[in-house]
């Protein structure tokens, strides 16, 4: 574990963040910002150490770069998602669309491109933590409409009785749309309701909508459940009786 002397003191801190990054100066800046924001920071320089610290300390949120030795950031996200739904933010200089989509599909809650300001990064941390605290009691225990079934307690999704795998963010996005079925929700409305802040790019919504359609739609290019209302947003359309045959 990297030492960040005089920057962190676990006593008195309610939220613990694990950062996995090989750049010492960046971790120091983040440590100072976390201290000022009231967070405790744990730091590792490689993915294997980061994974060990995750199991040992059970942090509330993880921030990881992609290019870290031992176990890269994408693999770290995947390994953590096997056992935990805690918020994960990928913070990397890799900024190609396919890299962002890959990280989000593996289960990252957000993907931030370096260099980024600490105020913006902490705002994303706050949003991710806020989403993670949304109580499950806000929704019914089970939703079913003939095609889609959502078990909210187990966080399971079935399409015509078959289990499908969704990332935590995709699950939240689907639930948000289903709870407002028949109503159009704008991309900005989804950013605010699912991601906790309207200050993300709308491309983030498009990526997750496309990924969600690949999993739940019979024909993703001709969606029948998640409808795009051009110029306005997206709508979950309950299947009609005729379409269930």
Of 83, 99, 132, the last residue of a domain is 132
Of 132, 151, 183, the last residue of a domain is 132
> How many CA atoms lie within 13 Å of 61's alpha carbon, on the beta-carbon side?
27
Q: Which two tokens stand for residue 53?
A: 């610290």
Report DSSP letters for 55-112, one per residue: HHH--SEEEE-SS-SSS-HHHHHHHHHTT----EEEEES---HHHHHHHHHHT-SEEE
CA 150 from chain centre, in angstroms, equals: 19
Q: Are residues 152 and 122 in the same domain?
A: no
Of 112, 132, 152, the last residue of a domain is 132
pLDDT in the model for residue 198:
63
Q: Is the pLDDT higher at 112 or at 195? A: 112
Give yes or no for residue 15 having a pLDDT over 70.
yes
pLDDT in the model for residue 237:
92
Which residue range is the domain that position 237 belongs to? 136-244
Of 105, 83, 108, residue with least CA distance to 195: 108
Give yes or no for residue 102 having a pLDDT over 60.
yes
Each residue's pLDDT tens digit, 37-70: 888 899 999 999 999 999 988 899 999 999 999 8
Q: Is 219 helix (H, G, I), strand (E, B) or coil?
A: coil
Beta carbons within 10 angstroms of residue 162's beta carbon: 8
pLDDT in the model for residue 91:
94
Mean pLDDT of the chain: 84
Residues forming a β-bridge with 42: 18
Stretch 120-145: mean pLDDT: 75
pLDDT in the model for residue 137:
41
CA distance linking residue 160 with residue 143, whole number of Å: 13
- Yes or no: say if 244 and 147 are a contact pair by the CB < 8 Å rule: yes
Q: Which two tokens stand for residue 168?
A: 């935590």
Work out the pLDDT band at 134, boundaries 50, 70, 90.
Answer: low
CATH code for position 184: 1.10.10.10
Least confident of 139-143, 152-156, 158-162, 217-221: 139-143
pLDDT in the model for residue 193:
83
Give yes or no for residue 3 having a pLDDT over 90.
no
């Amino acid at each position: 574990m990297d030492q960040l002397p005089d920057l962190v003191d676990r006593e008195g801190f309610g939220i613990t963040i694990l950062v996995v990054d090989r750049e010492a100066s960046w971790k120091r800046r983040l440590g100072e910002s976390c201290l000022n924001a009231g967070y405790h920071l744990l730091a590792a320089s490689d993915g294997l150490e980061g994974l060990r610290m995750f199991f040992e300390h059970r942090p509330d949120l993880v921030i990881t770069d992609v290019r870290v030795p031992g176990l890269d950031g994408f693999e770290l996200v995947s390994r953590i998602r096997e056992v935990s739904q805690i918020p994960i933010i990928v913070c990397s200089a890799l900024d190609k669309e396919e890299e962002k989509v890959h990280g989000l599909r593996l289960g990252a809650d957000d993907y931030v491109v370096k260099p980024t300001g600490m105020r913006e990064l902490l705002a994303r941390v706050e949003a991710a933590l806020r989403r993670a605290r949304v109580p499950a009691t806000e929704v019914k225990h089970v939703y079913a409409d003939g095609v889609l079934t959502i078990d909210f307690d187990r966080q399971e999704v079935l399409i015509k009785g078959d289990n499908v795998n969704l990332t935590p963010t995709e699950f939240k996005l689907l639930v948000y749309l289903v709870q407002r079925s028949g109503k159009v929700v704008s991309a900005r409305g989804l950013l605010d309701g699912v991601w906790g802040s309207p200050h993300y790019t709308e491309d983030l919504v498009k990526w997750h909508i496309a990924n969600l359609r690949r999993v739940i739609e019979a024909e993703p290019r001709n969606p029948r459940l998640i409808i795009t209302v051009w110029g306005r947003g997206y709508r979950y359309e309950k299947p009609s009786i005729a379409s269930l045959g």
